[in-house]
């Protein structure tokens, strides 16, 4: 559980830091402008990359769980607490 909290904290920091950076990114001199399209695209790309990675991890975990605990697995015997004798 502690690893999950650390993972979500890291993901939150990865999203928050660029947003704060772009909020204060306007230059002090009049000639420096902020291209919002580029910043929005960069944020979208970063968040989509994070979403794909999290989705891949979740999908992989579900596939592993289904494969590990399938009924045809020879190691998947019921425990004595389940009340069935094989």
User: Do 26 and 32 touch, CB atoms closer than 8 A?
Assistant: yes
pLDDT at 82: 66
pTM for this entry: 0.52
pLDDT digits (tens, 9 = 90+) for 31-70: 667 777 888 888 899 889 999 999 999 999 999 888 887 8
Burial of 71 (0-12, 13-18, 19+ CB in 10 A): exposed
pLDDT at 84 over 70: no
Share above pLDDT 70 across residues of the chain, in percent, rounded to a whole number: 83
Per-residue pLDDT at 40:
84
Mean of the per-residue pLDDT values of the chain: 80
Residue ranges of the domains in the chain? 2-20+34-68
Q: Could you tell me how many residues make up the chain?
A: 86
């Amino acid at each position: 559980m502690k690893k999950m909290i650390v993972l979500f904290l890291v993901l939150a920091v990865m999203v928050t830091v660029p947003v704060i950076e772009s909020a204060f990114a306007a230059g002090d001199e009049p000639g420096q402008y902020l291209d919002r399209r580029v910043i929005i695209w960069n944020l979208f790309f970063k968040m989509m990359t994070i979403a794909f990675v999290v989705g891949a991890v979740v999908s992989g975990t579900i596939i592993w769980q289904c494969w590990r605990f399938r009924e045809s697995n020879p190691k998947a015997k019921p425990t004595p607490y389940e009340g069935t004798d094989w």
